[in-house]
Amino acid sequence: MGIFSFSGTKPKNLGVKDGKLATCPNSPNCVNSQSTDKEHQIEPLPYIEIATIKQIVEGMERTNIIEVTDTYLYAEFTSQLMGFVDDVEFYRDDHAKVVHVRSASRLGKSDLGVNRKRIEAIRAKLS
Cα diameter, the chain: 43
0.85 cut: is pTM over it?
yes
Q: Is residue 98 in a domain?
A: yes
In this structure, the strands spanning 30-32 and 63-68 are unpaired
The domain that contains 37 carries what CATH number? 3.30.310
pLDDT of residue 89: 98
pLDDT of residue 10: 82
pLDDT tens column, 28-85: 899 999 999 999 999 999 999 999 999 999 999 999 999 999 999 999 999 877 778 9
Q: Is residue 23 in a domain?
A: no
Q: Which residue has the higher pLDDT, 13 or 33?
A: 33
Per cent of the chain over pLDDT 90 is 71
- Cα torsion through 101, 105, 109, 114, rounded to 10: -70
Q: Is residue 46 in a domain?
A: yes
Domain count, the chain: 1
pLDDT of residue 1: 47
